[in-house]
Structure 1
């Protein structure tokens, strides 16, 4: 069976239109600001510069977007899912250290999610200056962005249906506006020849700065891969043909317009809006703003999905997730939503214009692209692709993306610092959270359940111990079906004996595959001790209590367990017994001999922890049935040095007397 039939939207005309609304918002709105950035530093216009610049844009779209992402990267699908975290999930068992690349690339992509809404909406609204040069743009932009983020909590099911048709109209508008200008200056067709781009890079003194502007044309390429799970690879591949043609026509049209207006192109508010006849300015601004909002929506939704996947991969503290609609994969993360909103407003208010924002745009996404290239090379090696091909793949794309990275580094002091700062903040959180959990997990000790069966059975029957619950459910991290953490045994037996009629050990295994939804039950003492392993894909909604209840129902139907209350008065009326869930909170003490690196990580980890909701909330548990048992990490530690008892000889002599 083809993957696109099982995952995403089936290849069809309607699927292609939906893909336009979901995938191409970012790269599709690049014509709003890219050419303005390309011509921004020109003092003297030379036709060769325009031909070369348009050629560089065309071949950047071809090499990076078409060849790297559409042709090759879309093949690296994780059961139909795409994106840098899905790519990492494919290789993490073979290359565990690759988590650093995934963290860096994912963090840079989140930083891009902050910048895109600000620059796209601002650029679109700035078209109003063509109508009224003194019109205040910033308040309008702030209003649009605020409404956009407020809408996230309600989902985009209704509005989402219009995204595809609106973007179809947008791309047709790009093609028509550009095509008309190409007819006025047909010589611009020469820019299809990559030789003009080569000559410009060879002869133009500011070529490296120019490349930073050219890169803006392909900043949304990573979204093609990230959104594969929503629409399917085939819909992306076929729709990209149409999208690429319209983009090239528009870029050529803007180049043609500049060549036709060599004396005025520097003074116009927007080259993009200058392509429009005066009667179409207002409708064009409305369509452009709608496209900018859709592009922003795509990046915001993508950020939610990214955080959801990062949480599943233990890169990010648990967040409260909501699912505002039944659209596949749509998730809403309230804390991230308002964080993005605050940062977007800062960008708009601080940088004030799209021209200033262009300087910070592009640097973060080049980091993501470089990370994806490295991860792709690892995936290709795992797939046993010819090493010569992998070497060529790496050489070509690292050279191109490395050049763009250097070009964008030149923007650092002019605004690029902000995207780097945001990426560093996200990298720090992910690195500390991932490694902090690893440090805590290094103190985990697992024990076999079998030696405790008799003891737990006796505790269950010991009426001198106060009854703790009818069904006592411990959440365990033990992957092996016959093991639990030693701290669970300590909690039940040593800390405070906990008598229950039935003991359950519940293990939740988040898999690299996105949609797995299954369970396994292991019986250790019929009617007394069970272990349940839930195997969930990383995109399955975390509703563990509901899933556990489903397991219980299945077991009751199969006469495997009795869940009726053991209190006789309640049992006479077939009342279901009570369930109590226990989470072990492993407390970090101050007496551990951590290395300096571990001390640093754990100090930051404890600060970052305030961002996280408790594990039981993250797993969708009912608060009234949950107890958190706080147990020090060092309960299981062996003594590294034995103390010598002093005064032994004196006491021996006294005893002899």
Structure 2
């Protein structure tokens, strides 16, 4: 686990402040949008809609995610990339590339959702100002932008601090949700009849076309379910399950039924059922609390985006990015500055473009619904291959979940023209980036293996040949991405300087199919003769490589040597990637994109935590082609 030093209660308290904000603020707009889609207020519509909301939450969030999907973790980590990794372990070789594409596409769609959630959540809360005074309406967008900018500004302090600050607010929020719900349910207890699933079934059977449209709005109550799983590495499955079942689920259900009771007694309240469920004297405090809660709603997907980015870098789906661990106790808590800046700019653009929560809600859902469907597909593969479920059992349990997901994806598809194009476009762009880097990196590694000779052959020639290089004092460290192949920096150093240090360490990092690697097998040392050693460091896909730490780890395994930073030089290759230009426009664009990504990757010295004064960079140029074998030259 990534958080061994913290108890369940402390983690549960922190989880309230980070994980449940997205789904916890859905009552701000869900019932309002559902009744709009249903065509207005009537007892049939209200009972049918609130019954659909209840059973969707129970089936999709409680059963699918909290009880089922969270079983599929890797060292405590969650997220769709975790599922892709787990499913590919035991899957047939011919399916692995397909599963990779599924996982990458799901991750790209999650990023698209990460852009929409902060915008729609905060704007929906600030819109409560219009009920306080009409003169405040024109302040909705500026205030929303100010809140969002402040949110992204505090991300560098980490989710641990953010959770401690936000948890008291969210506890208050959920208690207020429950209190407002009870206030109106007590006055109109007949609304509790809608808890019967027959009302949902009858609503769908009597009005199939209307119900299909309404499902797109009902889905708003489920957004945040995927974030529960993506944030699992931050807090653990047990604390998340505990908080969901004991606090969040009851509060949400009671509030939805309370809003339903209100609109049945006062149909005009359907314009803003959440805010109008509060007494007049409590409106301003409720708007302020809602604004705070929606900031926290944004935190859930932002934290998930950081975790997923770190996974993508370690899995070779993204170039090196600066990743900051914000907690010494919880290794899963990370901050990625580039992602933080990019999300901030995207959210600002969305608020300026759509300007209201109603318009943003039209763009909301299609991306995360797609991710949820792909999650179900990957869970089927895991159940069949890793858990050894029979086909009948897997289809019997996962098949109905897939049918529900397909319904939600289909219903949300109609939102594409209304604004759903934005997260789809963003997700498609990110998918292209992820797959281009993955494909280009594989070709680059193949190029290095082809052009650079085996390390043992080169060392044998240098150490035993007639033309031996001059030996100099000190330690030279040559990081390499390909085990057993001569590092490019080593070849450049020999070519230009013709020297060999007393101690030469060729260190290669490999990413294992687990989030964290500990123990004596983390680093393996191999003697290559006469002061030359190969070191293979194994790290998980949630770790950030730290070369000085790896060298300290092997101090006792290299004879007569200890790590002294003042006596050590790190030789890095800084090769320039040049796109050769494909015969097709698509290939040419992908080559240029890969070259651009390679130029803008995080500096290796910073990424590997190397002392800048001890780094020597030696560069060259690599002509790279992403041309397919079937494409003519």
DSSP 3-state at the match of 1:206: helix
Partner of 1:299: 301
Partner of 2:123: 122
Partner of 2:392: 388
Q: CA shift at 1:103, angstroms?
A: 0.9
Partner of 1:530: 533
Q: Give the alignment partner of residue 621 of structure 1, picking from 606, 610, 629.
A: 610
Partner of 2:285: 283
Q: Which of the two has greater helix per residue?
A: 2
Q: Is the 8 A contact 2:489 2:572 kept in 1?
A: no
Q: CA shift at 1:389, angstroms?
A: 1.6
Task: Note the 1:526-565 alignment, pairs <5 A.
Answer: 526=530, 528-544=531-547, 546-551=548-553, 553-555=555-557, 559-561=559-561
Partner of 2:108: 107
Q: Does 1:250 align with 2:255?
A: yes
Partner of 1:189: 192
Q: CA shift at 1:440, angstroms?
A: 1.6
Q: CA shift at 1:233, angstroms?
A: 1.4
Q: CA shift at 1:576, angstroms?
A: 5.5
Structure 2: gaps (5+ residues): none
Q: Does 1:231 align with 2:235?
A: yes
Q: CA shift at 1:172, angstroms?
A: 1.1
Q: Does 1:11 align with 2:15?
A: no
Q: How has the CA–CA distance of structure 1 residues 92 and 145 changed in structure 2, closer, same or farther, with 3 Å as cutoff?
A: same
Task: Note the 1:418-457 alignment, pairs <5 A.
Answer: 418-445=422-449, 448-457=454-463
DSSP 3-state at the match of 2:8: coil
The 10-residue stretch of structure 1 (307-316 or 82-91) with the greater mean CA deviation from structure 2: 82-91
DSSP 3-state at the match of 2:154: helix
Partner of 1:46: 42
The 10-residue stretch of structure 1 (209-218 or 159-168) with the greater mean CA deviation from structure 2: 159-168
Aligned length: 609
Partner of 1:579: 569
DSSP 3-state at the match of 1:471: strand
Normalised to the residue count of structure 1, the TM-score between the two structures is: 0.86
Q: Is the 8 A contact 1:443 1:634 kept in 2?
A: no
Q: Give the alignment partner of residue 597 of structure 2, picking from 598, 602, 608.
A: 608
CA distance in 1, matches of 2:323, 2:127: 35
Q: CA shift at 1:352, angstroms?
A: 0.7
CA distance in 2, matches of 1:126, 1:563: 59
CA distance in 2, matches of 1:285, 1:581: 57
CA distance in 2, matches of 1:287, 1:589: 53
Q: Does 1:408 align with 2:412?
A: yes
Q: Does 1:61 align with 2:67?
A: no
Partner of 2:179: 176
Q: How has the CA–CA distance of structure 1 residues 105 and 9 changed in structure 2, closer, same or farther, with 3 Å as cutoff?
A: farther
DSSP 3-state at the match of 1:428: helix
CA deviations on 1:211-237 (whole Å, 9 max, x unpaired) are 000000001111111122222212222
Partner of 2:371: 368
Q: CA shift at 1:468, angstroms?
A: 7.4
Q: Give the alignment partner of residue 87 of structure 2, picking from 69, 78, 91.
A: 91
Q: How has the CA–CA distance of structure 1 residues 164 and 109 changed in structure 2, closer, same or farther, with 3 Å as cutoff?
A: same
Partner of 1:651: none
Q: Is the 8 A contact 1:7 1:79 kept in 2?
A: no
Q: Is the 8 A contact 2:38 2:210 kept in 1?
A: no
Q: CA shift at 1:506, angstroms?
A: 0.5
CA distance in 2, matches of 1:34, 1:93: 39
RMSD: 2.8
Structure 1: gaps (5+ residues): 565-574, 641-657
Partner of 2:507: 506
Q: Is the 8 A contact 2:578 2:595 kept in 1?
A: no
Q: Is the 8 A contact 1:513 1:538 kept in 2?
A: yes
Q: Is the 8 A contact 1:588 1:632 kept in 2?
A: yes
Q: Does 1:140 align with 2:143?
A: yes
Q: Does 1:77 align with 2:67?
A: no
Q: CA shift at 1:447, angstroms?
A: 5.1
CA distance in 1, matches of 2:160, 2:240: 21
CA distance in 1, matches of 2:612, 2:597: 23
CA distance in 1, matches of 2:567, 2:241: 55
Q: How has the CA–CA distance of structure 1 residues 42 and 598 changed in structure 2, closer, same or farther, with 3 Å as cutoff?
A: closer
Q: Is the 8 A contact 1:466 1:498 kept in 2?
A: yes
CA distance in 1, matches of 2:535, 2:188: 70
CA deviations on 1:469-504 (whole Å, 9 max, x unpaired) are 73222222334xxx2248577546567644322222
Q: Is the 8 A contact 1:8 1:231 kept in 2?
A: no
Q: Is the 8 A contact 2:16 2:163 kept in 1?
A: no
Partner of 1:649: none
Greater C-alpha Rg: 1
CA distance in 2, matches of 1:312, 1:492: 28
CA deviations on 1:157-211 (whole Å, 9 max, x unpaired) are 4443132222111111111111111112212111111111111112223222110
Q: How has the CA–CA distance of structure 1 residues 74 and 579 changed in structure 2, closer, same or farther, with 3 Å as cutoff?
A: same
The 10-residue stretch of structure 1 (355-364 or 292-301) with the greater mean CA deviation from structure 2: 292-301
CA distance in 2, matches of 1:511, 1:151: 32
The 10-residue stretch of structure 1 (81-90 or 156-165) with the greater mean CA deviation from structure 2: 156-165
CA deviations on 1:499-541 (whole Å, 9 max, x unpaired) are 3222221011122222214211111214x11001111122223
CA distance in 1, matches of 2:90, 2:593: 29
Q: Does 1:216 align with 2:220?
A: yes
CA distance in 2, matches of 1:132, 1:382: 59
CA distance in 2, matches of 1:634, 1:604: 14
Q: CA shift at 1:343, angstroms?
A: 0.9
Q: Is the 8 A contact 1:589 1:632 kept in 2?
A: no
Q: CA shift at 1:274, angstroms?
A: 0.7
CA distance in 2, matches of 1:459, 1:477: 27
CA distance in 1, matches of 2:353, 2:621: 46
Q: How has the CA–CA distance of structure 1 residues 83 and 378 changed in structure 2, closer, same or farther, with 3 Å as cutoff?
A: same
DSSP 3-state at the match of 1:138: helix
Normalised to the residue count of structure 2, the TM-score between the two structures is: 0.89
CA deviations on 1:449-471 (whole Å, 9 max, x unpaired) are 44334323258994xx5667732
Partner of 2:315: 313
